[in-house]
């Protein structure tokens, strides 16, 4: 297989009217594909009015494609892909405690990364790991009752949105939940109840929105009081309590409801315990009626990475491979400390936003970055490291991604021609070089 076979192999065959957008976990598949397979710029501008996040994602890739259609560097100097692969393998072989981070790629990329991590005895963590764990720890502790986007869209009369601005990370959430008309719910009755969340943006016409009055209670206390009302436990009286009591009654009376939150917005201590309250509140409600949770995730392919890790190793991320060539082992590593890491292999075919914090990671650690060309020259790329530009699934490359509800794995085909290799192919070549095999 040539390095770019995965991305360019789709070129001629599939020029679809729509594309699978990889820029958040909703993986929308109803927005227009580019008019031609080279039309980066106009397509990015068209998307901007439909979804700013998708527009910005394409614009960043477009800028990079114009300025540096292919980019491979070793310690800041231009290099060939062969040279970079060989040097990455050499540095990986020399590392004692390699760390594989980022992992914002498609299924095949994560599979290749785990194979290489196993070969090199690496620890593995996603860039959104510590947001993801807010949901994961709660789920591991007491379980969860969740539903698909389609089920919520077609059945929910009441959608309780909890904490933060959902459209920050998931701009078209409300279009996905409320348009077109539901199959089983009464369209006229659908209401969004906001609990500790600001008024939503881009809400389709005809959907009612109400804010819950929490008085002087913070979000954690408000949910605790709401749950106490649902369980019939004694609650101190007051304005907020009266308001939450009536909300509890509405939740009970609703025939089908959904609680929606985004773990990335719950940026406070013990957020996993808060999420556990939400999961358990839905369990309480299901004694008399039907409620589900819809925890939003999947940005930067975090659910994809977690799913592949679970299929392949039996553990969610973060994990740690260790052992000898003869006897490998893998372990769940939920509270990692990367202070002793001596090489960071950063995988980012989806570039991501900002610099994620990995606990203990030394400043200036040597890096090998296999990422979208828009990342070249920015964090976490170290000027002294290796950079290999790769295709982005759904845009310049092809791959499978797991959607926010964790049930659907979408096939995101390339919609633009690109000379960039697929990240999975680059990782496979590094593994082959490490094994001393013919590339
Ligand atoms: S909401 Fe998310 S998946 Fe949908 S178009 Fe916007 S960035 Fe893409």
- Tell me the CATH number at 282: 3.40.228.10
What is the distance between the alpha carbons of residues 179 and 50, in angstroms, rounded to a whole number?
14
Same domain, 283 and 268: yes
Residue 304 falls inside a structural domain: no
Same domain, 335 and 286: no
Same domain, 30 and 137: no
Distance 306 CA to ligand 1 centre (A): 20
Tell me if residue 319 falls in helix, strand or coil. Answer: strand
- Residue 69: closest CA among 79, 59, 61: 61
Task: Judge contact between 232 and 288, C-beta under 8 A.
Answer: no
Distances (CA, A) of 90 to 86, 102, 435: 6, 21, 11
The domain spanning residue 420 has which CATH number?
3.40.50
Which domain-ending residue is among 250, 268, 297? 297
Residue 309 falls inside a structural domain: no
| Structure tokens belonging to residue 410 | 């979408």
Provide the residue-wise pLDDT of the chain in tens; the chain has 439 residues.
333 333 333 444 445 789 999 999 999 999 999 998 888 889 999 999 999 999 999 999 988 888 877 789 999 899 999 999 999 999 999 999 999 999 999 999 999 999 999 988 999 999 999 999 999 999 999 999 999 999 999 999 999 999 999 999 999 999 999 987 777 777 778 899 999 999 988 888 888 999 999 988 999 999 999 999 999 998 877 656 678 999 999 999 999 999 999 999 999 999 999 999 999 999 999 999 999 999 999 999 999 999 999 999 999 999 999 976 667 799 999 999 999 999 999 999 999 887 788 999 998 899 999 999 988 876 555 457 999 999 999 999 999 999 999 999 999 999 999 999 999 999 999 999 998 854 4
- Residue 419: closest CA among 9, 70, 12: 70
Task: Judge contact between 316 and 332, C-beta under 8 A.
Answer: yes
- Residue 421: closest CA among 374, 372, 379, 383: 372
Distance 227 CA to ligand 1 centre (A): 33
Residue 199 falls inside a structural domain: yes
Q: Which atom of ligand 1 is nearest to the CA of 172?
A: 1
Task: Judge contact between 161 and 194, C-beta under 8 A.
Answer: yes
Same domain, 293 and 159: yes
Same domain, 322 and 269: no
- Residue 16: closest CA among 323, 318, 394, 330: 394
Residue 342 falls inside a structural domain: yes
Same domain, 262 and 320: no
With residue 336 as reference, give the H or E element that holds it: none
Distance 54 CA to ligand 1 centre (A): 6
Residue 305 falls inside a structural domain: no
What integer pLDDT is reported at residue 16 of this predicted model?
77
What is the distance between the alpha carbons of residues 148 and 246, in angstroms, rounded to a whole number?
28
Q: Which atom of ligand 1 is nearest to the CA of 24?
A: 2
Task: Judge contact between 123 and 333, C-beta under 8 A.
Answer: yes
Distance 417 CA to ligand 1 centre (A): 21
What is the distance between the alpha carbons of residues 162 and 303, in angstroms, rounded to a whole number?
21
Nearest CA to ligand 1 atom 2: 24
Task: Judge contact between 413 and 398, C-beta under 8 A.
Answer: yes
Same domain, 369 and 276: no
What integer pLDDT is reported at residue 439 of this predicted model?
46
Split into its structural domains, the chain has a count of 2
Measured from CB, residues less than 6 Å from any atom of ligand 1 are 21, 23-24, 26-28, 31, 51, 53-54, 170-172
Same domain, 45 and 118: yes
Which domain-ending residue is among 233, 265, 297? 297
Same domain, 335 and 259: no
What number of other Cβ atoms are within 10 A of residue 86's Cβ? Answer: 17
Same domain, 139 and 219: yes
Task: Judge contact between 339 and 362, C-beta under 8 A.
Answer: yes
Which of 26, 166, 179, 304 to probe ligand 1 with, by most ligand atoms within 8 A of CB?
26
Residue 391 falls inside a structural domain: yes
Task: Judge contact between 349 and 423, C-beta under 8 A.
Answer: yes
What integer pLDDT is reported at residue 65 of this predicted model?
83
Same domain, 328 and 404: yes
With residue 72 as reference, give the H or E element that holds it: strand 72-74
- Would you list the DSSP string of 109-154? HHHHHHHHHHHHT-EE--TTHHHHHHHHHHHHHH---B--HHHHHH
**What is the DSSP code (8-state) at residue 373?**
G
Residue 106 falls inside a structural domain: yes
Nearest CA to ligand 1 atom 4: 28
User: At a CB cut-off of 8 Å and minimum separation 6, what does 246 contact?
Assistant: none
What integer pLDDT is reported at residue 177 of this predicted model?
93
Same domain, 118 and 137: no
Tell me if residue 286 falls in helix, strand or coil. Answer: coil
Task: Judge contact between 108 and 399, C-beta under 8 A.
Answer: yes
What integer pLDDT is reported at residue 206 of this predicted model?
84
Which domain-ending residue is among 297, 325, 355? 297
Q: Show the domain range for 225.
A: 131-297
Task: Judge contact between 294 and 147, C-beta under 8 A.
Answer: yes
| Structure tokens belonging to residue 177 | 């939940």
Distance 172 CA to ligand 1 centre (A): 6
Residue 421 falls inside a structural domain: yes
């Amino acid at each position: 297989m040539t390095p770019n076979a995965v991305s360019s192999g789709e070129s001629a065959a599939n020029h679809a009217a729509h594309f699978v957008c990889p820029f958040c976990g909703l993986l929308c598949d109803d927005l227009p594909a580019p008019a031609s397979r080279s039309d980066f710029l106009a397509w990015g501008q068209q998307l901007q009015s439909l979804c700013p996040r998708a527009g910005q994602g394409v614009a960043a890739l477009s800028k990079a494609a114009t300025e540096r259609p292919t980019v491979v560097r070793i310690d800041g100097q231009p290099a060939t892909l062969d040279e970079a692969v060989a040097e990455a393998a050499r540095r990986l072989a020399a590392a004692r405690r390699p760390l594989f981070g980022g992992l914002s790629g498609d299924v095949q990329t994560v599979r290749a990364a785990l194979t290489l991590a196993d070969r090199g005895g690496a620890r593995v963590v996603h860039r959104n790991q510590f947001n993801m764990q807010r949901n994961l720890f709660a789920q591991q502790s007491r379980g969860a009752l969740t539903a698909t986007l389609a089920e919520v869209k077609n059945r929910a009369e009441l959608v309780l949105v909890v904490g933060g601005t959902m459209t920050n990370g998931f701009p078209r959430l409300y279009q996905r939940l409320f348009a077109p008309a539901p199959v089983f719910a009464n369209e006229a009755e659908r209401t969004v109840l906001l609990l500790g969340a600001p008024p939503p943006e881009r809400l389709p016409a005809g959907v009612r929105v109400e804010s819950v009055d929490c008085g002087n209670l913070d979000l954690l206390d408000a949910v605790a009081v709401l749950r106490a009302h649902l369980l019939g436990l004694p609650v101190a009286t007051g304005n907020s309590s009266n308001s939450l009591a009536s909300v509890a009654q509405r939740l009970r009376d609703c025939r089908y409801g959904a609680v929606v939150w985004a773990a990335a917005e719950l940026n406070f201590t013990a957020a996993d315990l808060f999420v556990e309250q939400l999961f358990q509140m839905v369990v309480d409600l299901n004694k008399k009626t039907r409620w589900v949770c819809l925890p939003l995730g999947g940005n930067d392919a975090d659910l994809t990475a977690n799913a592949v890790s679970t299929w392949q190793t039996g553990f969610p991320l973060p994990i740690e491979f260790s052992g000898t060539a003869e006897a490998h082992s893998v372990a769940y590593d939920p509270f990692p400390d990367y202070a002793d890491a001596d090489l960071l292999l950063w995988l980012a075919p989806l570039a991501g936003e900002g610099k994620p914090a990995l606990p203990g990671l030394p400043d200036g650690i040597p890096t090998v970055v296999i990422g979208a060309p828009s990342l070249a020259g920015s964090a976490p790329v170290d000027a002294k490291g290796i950079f290999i530009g790769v295709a982005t699934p759904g845009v310049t490359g092809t791959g499978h991604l797991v959607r926010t509800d964790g049930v659907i794995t979408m096939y995101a085909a390339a919609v633009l021609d690109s000379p960039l290799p697929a990240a999975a192919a680059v990782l496979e070549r590094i593994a082959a070089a490490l094994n001393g095999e013919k590339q």
